[in-house]
């Protein structure tokens, strides 16, 4: 059933305003002298008409309109929230996709660097083993060097005395790199 609210409102506004009161089978308007609104056959009808006075009907219509407006606002706010959450979700999705791409690129570069490192290690090991005297060099001294303290120039080497021997340092680094002791 469709209720014609507009028509009901027009009729309620046109009817006599004021306090409707049931008095036996009659309904009076207490705010107008000797004003009988209705005379009913049934007591229940008189009671109902008094209760459903224009003032009451207009208040009911106003409440309905207010609720409809509140519902509209709630819907709009709900929609706005949904849009905001959906936007955030899309943004997070894009961020995750970006991170995944970045991580995959990192993994790829890492694998390439590892392979390159392994290859360099092999080359270094081969180079070190081919240098003349490599097999007879004393631990810590490069081939052909015989520092009493490995890698440090002896007292009789003038200005170099007591200082680190650069070639021994490079040699030791190359040896340990070839063995895989260094990154």
Distance of closest approach, residue 127 Cβ to Zn ion, in angstroms:
18
- SS3 of 29, please? strand
Could you tell me the CA-to-CA distances from 132 to 54, 124, 135, 142 in Å, in that order? Answer: 117, 15, 8, 10
Query: Comparing C-alpha atoms, which of 157, 153, 151 is closest to residue 173?
Result: 151
Which C-beta is closer to Zn ion: that of 79 or that of 163? Answer: 163
Which C-beta is closer to Zn ion: that of 124 or that of 142? Answer: 142
Tell me how crowded residue 37 is: count the other CB atoms within 10 A of its CB.
Answer: 20
Distance of closest approach, residue 142 Cβ to Zn ion, in angstroms:
5
* Cα–Cα distance for residue pair 65/91, rounded to 1 Å: 39
Distance of closest approach, residue 164 Cβ to Zn ion, in angstroms:
9
**Nearest-CB residue to Zn ion?**
165
Which C-beta is closer to Zn ion: that of 58 or that of 131? Answer: 131
Distance of closest approach, residue 177 Cβ to Zn ion, in angstroms:
17
In the complex, the residues that contact Zn ion under the rule CB under 5 A are 142, 145, 165, 168
Greatest CA separation for the chain? 139
Which C-beta is closer to Zn ion: that of 20 or that of 171? Answer: 171
């Amino acid at each position: 059933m469709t209720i014609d609210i507009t028509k009901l409102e027009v009729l309620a506004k046109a009817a006599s305003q004021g306090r409707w009161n049931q008095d036996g089978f009659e309904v009076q308007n207490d705010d107008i002298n000797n004003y009988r609104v209705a005379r009913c056959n049934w007591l229940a009808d008189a009671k109902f008409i008094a209760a459903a006075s224009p003032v009451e009907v207009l208040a009911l219509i106003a409440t309905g309109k207010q609720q409809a407006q509140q519902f509209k606002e709630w819907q709009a706010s709900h929609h706005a929230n949904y849009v905001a959450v959906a936007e955030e979700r899309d943004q997070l999705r894009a961020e995750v996709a970006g991170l995944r791409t970045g991580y995959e690129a990192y993994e790829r570069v890492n694998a390439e660097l590892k392979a390159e490192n392994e290859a360099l290690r092999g080359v270094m090991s081969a180079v070190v083993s081919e240098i003349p005297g490599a097999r007879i060099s004393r631990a810590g001294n490069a081939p052909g060097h015989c520092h009493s303290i490995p890698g440090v120039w002896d007292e009789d080497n003038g200005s170099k005395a007591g200082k680190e021997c650069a070639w021994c340092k490079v040699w030791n680094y190359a040896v340990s790199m070839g063995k895989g002791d260094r990154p």
